[in-house]
Structure 1
Amino acid sequence: MKKNSNYLKSPDLFPITHGKRNISPFGFAVIWVGMAIVLAAFAIGGGGIINLPLGMVILATIIGSVAIGIFMVVIGDIGVEHGLSFPVYMRAPFGTIGTHIPSVVRAVTASCWFGINTYFGSAAINGILNLLFGWDNWFVCFLLFAAAQLINTSLGIKSIERFADLAAPIIIIISCWMYVTLSGNAADQGKDIWNWVESPVTGLSAFTAFMVVVMANMGFWATLAADMPSLSRFFKAPKNERNWFKRNKTQLIGSLVVMPIFNTFMVTIGAVSYIAVSNADPVFALQEAASGFILGILLLMIVLAQWSTNTSANVVPAATIFSNVGGPKIPFWVGVVVAGIIGTLAQPWSLFDVLNSALLIIGGILSSVVGILFADYYLLRKRRVNVHELYETSGQYRYLNGFNMAGMIAWIIGGIIANLLPAYSSIVGFVVGAVLYYVLAKFWWFKKYSQAEIEDPSDDKYLGITVGRDWTISTEEKVIVTSASETVNEHL
């Protein structure tokens, strides 16, 4: 008798049942308020205002935000419908082992962003302590700030939502104050923020500059679009609801209303900051005009914003993926610690420029994953998933030694082409990944490896919350007789 442990069955990665989904539309909205406050958004505004007037920068940002928001909602339905996280569902288009390659790329990317955001937050904390007590040791602040965020995330999604509830109103108030102050600084210099452009362009050059802003907004959030299921599986949704829009109400409000509004506001602040002091970083701009208590409040917003962004957009996805790689021996909280260690070892304080460029390239590579997920979930499986098989080492998603070659080929080619056309990387990566995967899977790979939910697209068998089903994965062992003299124990 031979015992074989099933490494796919980590309890932290089992489908989230209806009763444990506790993030409301309002809860996700306030989480988005915090996630939207990132330095990259300010930089997009500063870069756009060089060639385009503020109105065009805002329009391009709204278009890009809504476009990537649609991707988020579409892919996030995987979590809403089935309660599945990103790395678990990735076993379908990439295989039970193949899932680890693109997933780990995303996890390391998220961990590095965690390090970068923690560095900026720790610098702000150091500034506050310096104002109050004359303290000056940013590295100690970095370690303490990282620990606080990791503990907050380890306590679970409800703890993250409670923190967002606290941080969101403070962030909104201070953001409005930043905009008013920066606009006033520009006006004092005789600059009309709505008509000022450093190097105006026209014709095709103007269109290219416009599309760069659109794609910059999409590219920055493309990685979160891919692993939105890791968050959306916690969203409240009605059982037995056939209407896709009603079922995804929480997502629609957060990603198509709140995110575009606040992302656009942050890009606008970056643009106005550049007009005022030729620097897109509003912290730099306001340090020139603020001091004492006002500067301390400004720095507090930076701390809260980096914290809120990190927990939801970086640590949760990374920890979920690391837990998937490690199996039952690596619970979620250990994945959180691993994410923190990687983010620290990346040394964002000395390698920011290199890291930032590398992470944007990786973002282009991962944009093809969004297309692959879309083609696999909607076009091929029609939202029906043989969920129990996702947790079986020898199930239908094992494919060729754990690899779905259709997904691997589509991802590699899609990622390469996306980065050959960086100005349009998000759209190119999505389209190439989706088309290639659809063709390869439908006409080649799934001819070799039959998929039950495609052969028999039954609602009752393969849909989740739409038919009122909570997917439950058994951890009991079953005995499979393979011969007269041998049995193999497997975990269900």
Structure 2
Amino acid sequence: MKKNHLKSPDLFPIQHKDRKISKLGFSFMWVGMVVVLATFAIGGAGVMSLSLPLVILATIIGSLAIGLFISLIADIGIEHGLSFPVYMRAPFGTIGTHIPSITRGITASMWFGVNTYFGSTAMNGILNILFGFDNWFVCFLIFAAVQLVNTALGIKSIERFADLAAPIILLISIWMYSSLSDQAAEAGRDVWSWVESPVTGGAAFSAFLVVIFSNMGFWATLSADIPSISRFIKAPMNEKNWFKRNKASLIGNMVAMPIVQTFMIIIGAVSYIAVLNSDPVVALQKSASGIILAVLLLMLVLAQWSTNTAANVVPAATIFSNVGGPKFPFWAGVITAGIVGIVVQPWQLFDIIIQVLLFVGGILAAIVGILFADYYLIRKRRVNVPELYEQNGQFRYLGGVNVAGFIAWIIGAAASYFVPDFGFLVGFILGAGIYYLLAKYWWFNKYQQAEINDPSDEKFLGISVGRDWVIEEKAYEPVLEEIPNNVDLY
């Protein structure tokens, strides 16, 4: 008997009855995920070249565009209940999936460390104001531990925290905007018309595009592994209409996220106009003190917590669990994500690490294109799900590797490196296009795919035909050994 490392219960398709995230819950998760330092920075950078109304317009366009990409890939989780690393076995192979998946897992873990550091400094500020305590590293360790426990308790625990944190974050954000606007007015600057270095013509158009693609590139990582979250979103059984089936996902990705993202971009922009620094904490510390400052810092703690659990620890833990196999459950993946996030020491590499992570986000854009091409253009949403859990099934390909996927990823990622401002679009288009051509006209002629040869809805669709995919929990598979010709069987 040979051990099957693909059959980990934590990675089996989520059943319809176990999908607990509501429309409102998913939207509230977005509220917390958007409030990060890099979001504010996009707004601050934008108003260096453009007026605030143009920055807002570009943000709305970019947010709606990336929201659509996220919604498209989210259907993998909603339709089939599959997580990101498990579906990646289709375009990359049962072993090949680990290389791009680990790239995303380490990236998510590093973002966890960055956001935890940012949140721990805010926590330290609160404790210093209220009790005179001043030790940010102790706060960092405590904050990291609390977030990891929250995530290990499961997706419902994460949603409950988001339900609590989101209204507080929104209320404090409104106060932040009002306070920052007053500061800008006192400095003689009109937030709606002020531009530090006004540009016109082609330069203005380029600056406009940079804001659009900055918003898209920032969420490229989540658009790749959104199935790890969307598989827990409630969706109707036997609903063949794509829009109705993905309603909860669409409301979060196309309504909640663009609205909150735009508002946070505005706060970053107004902060820069007020004190020439896009970090609102720095800006408000100049005017706020005591309990008011503590309330401000509380928002940042809640926001980093909500961002980390949903956008970073869940995807990373799911990926590490996939790599580790059946003996490496989700909670072990959570601990691994936490260790990686601490080992990189974000407090020493803060400025460098964010640039590295945004660069990696551009590289992952090619994966989004490959997922889109594989799921929609080639398989047309039909997936032979049981074979994703078989070591010697149709997704083993050449020694567990889908060469077409790797060629498309390498070319798409390399191209995005040379055009970082437009990396998401370039990576997506090249990744999707090259994968489609190679897979359809070469690779899948060599390695036949059941759902392509027999595109049956009843056989290969999930909840849209009323199916819950059930995987047999068998950790071992029989190994067939050839008998030497010179052995006498009788």
Q: What is the TM-score with the length of structure 1 in the denominator?
A: 0.97
Q: Trace 1:273-288 onto structure 2 (pairs within 5 A).
A: 273-288=271-286
Q: Deviation per CA, 1:268-312, whole angstroms, max 9, x where unpaired?
A: 000000000000000000000000000000000000000000000
Output one character per residue of 1:433-483: Cα deviation in whole Å (capped at 9) or x when no partner.
Answer: 000000010111111100000000000100000100000000246657555
Q: Which residue is 1:12 aligned to? A: 10
Residue equivalent to 1:379: 377
Alignment partner of 1:215 out of 213, 216, 220: 213
Which of 344, 347, 355 is residue 345 of structure 2 equivalent to?
Answer: 347
One-letter amino acid matched to 2:100: P
2:318 matched to which residue of 1? 320
Code of the residue aligned with 2:339 in structure 1: it is I
Give the 5 Å matches for 1:408-419.
408-419=406-417
Q: Could you tell me which residue of structure 1 aligns to residue 102 of structure 2?
A: 104
Structure 1: 5+ residue stretches without partners: 487-492
Q: Structure 1 residue 142 and structure 2 residue 140: aligned?
A: yes
> Structure 1 CA distance, aligned partners of 2:89 and 2:439?
14
- TM-score between the two structures when normalised by the length of structure 2: 0.98
Q: Could you tell me which residue of structure 2 aligns to residue 52 of structure 1?
A: 50
Is 1:358 the equivalent of 2:356?
yes
Partner in structure 1 of residue 245 of structure 2: 247
2:164 alignment partner in structure 1? 166
Matches within 5 A, 1:18-417: 18-417=16-415
- The equivalent of 2:450 in structure 1 is 452
Runs ≥4 residues deviating over 3 A: 476-486
Q: In the aligned structure 2, how far is the partner of 1:378 from the partner of 1:482?
A: 38
Listed as ranges, the gaps of 5+ residues in structure 2 are 486-490
* 8 Å Cα contact 2:240/2:464 also seen in 1: yes
Amino acid of the residue matched to residue 289 of structure 1?
Answer: S
- Distance in 2 of aligned mates of 1:180 and 1:464: 48
Give aligned-pair identity as a percent. Answer: 68
Return the alpha-carbon distance in structure 2 between the equivalents of residues 182 and 484 of structure 1. 79
Supply the distance in 2 between the matched residues of 1:480 and 1:449 (Cα, whole angstroms). 22
The amino acid that maps onto 1:92 is: A
Decide whether the 8 Å contact of 2:2 with 2:479 is kept in 1: no
The alignment of Structure 1 onto Structure 2 pairs a total of residues equal to: 484
- Residue 133 of structure 1: how far off its partner (Å): 1.1
SS in 1 for 2:117: helix
- Residue 187 of structure 1 and its aligned partner are, at CA, apart by 1.0
Provide, for residues 53-106 of structure 1, a one-character-per-residue CA deviation record: whole Å limited to 9, x for no partner.
000000000000000000000000000000000000000000001000010000
Deviation at 1:485, TM superposition (A): 9.0
SS of alignment partner, residue 348 of structure 1: coil
Q: Give the corresponding residue for 1:490.
A: none
Q: Distance in 1 between matches of 2:479 and 2:166?
A: 53
- For 1:416-455, list aligned pairs within 5 A: 416-455=414-453
Give the CA deviation at 1:252: 0.4
Give the Cα–Cα distance (whole angstroms) in 1 for the partners of residues 20 and 157 of structure 2.
11
Distance 1:125 1:356 in 2: 21
CA distance in 1, matches of 2:439, 2:154: 36
**What's the CA shift for 1:348?**
0.4
